[in-house]
Amino acid sequence: MLSRALCGTGRQLAPALGYLGSRQKHSLPDLPYDYGALEPHINAQIMQLHHSKHHAAYVNNLNDTEEKYKEALAKEMEFHHVGQSGPELLISSDLPTLASQSAGISGDVTAQIALQPALKFNGGGHINHSIFWTNLSPDGGGEPKGELLEAIKRDFGSFDKFKEKLTAASVGVQGSGWGWLGFNKERGHLQIAACPNQDPLQGTTGLIPLLGIDVWEHAYYLQYKNVRPDYLKAIWNVINWENVTERYMACKK
């Protein structure tokens, strides 16, 4: 299940459903602006493919994976009894008693573990992109204000130094991944991190995601080709500092 982050997006549970264990599937969130709204910094073709194809696939595959995971959780494995083996197990009248003493394993653990990569990949993809769309805005750009700006100055020296560091971390990702501005709750400070593939920041590092930069090639290639640094230069023009600030304020509590 998509664990509800301390701050940031959570999955909507439908209270009206009421059945224990029943839940709504994950769904593709609407983009808060038109596909062309971030031009010329990120073009409409990229935004349309990125949202309606890539993110949509993560959502669908996440739902499929969670279905399979539910089945694996529910499945009962054969019990292993000391002194018994094979078909005897299944017809033994002592089964209920022995079961409680047995080293039996309920739930198909192997299947659950086999599903982990798909859950991390598609679940992470859904989390990451849901945050990303809100981190961008046609009215974005410039610098943050108030408490977030103060924290940035405190933890990085200046806004420009922060910008350099996050840019370098994002450009430097080898292969597919994300650059992140995150909040370290334990230490109470901002931190820059990079994650590979769709590994979600909070799930893998504990940092609370504030601002993510998608550096998978699909995020920029149609417009910037191999020149990832040009994409990074451009994206600073559409960063939604209001949203990043909201996320920061929610963490600081």
Structure tokens at 180: 């992140």
Nearer CB in complex with a copy of itself: 49/250: 49
DSSP secondary-structure letter at 12? P
Q: Please state, in angstroms and rounded to a whole number, the distance separating the CA atoms of residues 206 and 182.
A: 9
Helices (H), the chain: 44-49, 56-74, 88-91, 95-101, 109-135, 146-156, 159-171, 201-205, 221-224, 228-235, 241-252
> Is 114 among the residues that bind a copy of itself (CB under 8 A)?
no
> Is 58 among the residues that bind a copy of itself (CB under 8 A)?
no
Nearer CB in complex with a copy of itself: 133/183: 133
Consult the annotation and say whether 214 binds a ligand: yes
Query: What DSSP assignment string belongs to 163-230?
Result: HHHHHHHHHT-SSSEEEEEEEETTTTEEEEEEEETT--HHHHH-PEEEEEEE-SGGGTHHHHTT-HHH
> Is 115 among the residues that bind a copy of itself (CB under 8 A)?
no
> Is 69 among the residues that bind a copy of itself (CB under 8 A)?
no
Nearer CB in complex with a copy of itself: 11/54: 54
Consult the annotation and say whether 218 binds a ligand: yes
Stretch touching a copy of itself by CB under 8 A, among 86-94, 138-146, 147-155, 196-204 = 196-204
Size of the site for a copy of itself (CB under 8 A): 20
Interactions with a copy of itself, residue window 197-236 (CB under 8 A): 197-198, 216-218, 221-222, 225-226
Consult the annotation and say whether 50 binds a ligand: yes
To a copy of itself, the closest distance from the beta carbon of 120 in angstroms equals: 9
Nearest alpha carbon to residue 168 among 104, 232, 221 = 232
Task: Report residue 57: phi and psi, to 5°.
Answer: -65, -40
Q: Please state, in angstroms and rounded to a whole number, the distance separating the CA atoms of residues 218 and 21.
A: 36
**Which strand ranges, in their side-by-side order, compose the sheet holding 208-214?**
189-196, 177-184, 208-214
> Is 117 among the residues that bind a copy of itself (CB under 8 A)?
yes
> Is 43 among the residues that bind a copy of itself (CB under 8 A)?
no
Nearer CB in complex with a copy of itself: 43/102: 43
Site of interaction with a copy of itself (CB under 8 A): 49, 53-54, 57, 117, 121, 174-177, 196-198, 216-218, 221-222, 225-226
Pick out the residues of the known binding site for Mn(2+). Answer: 50, 129, 214, 218
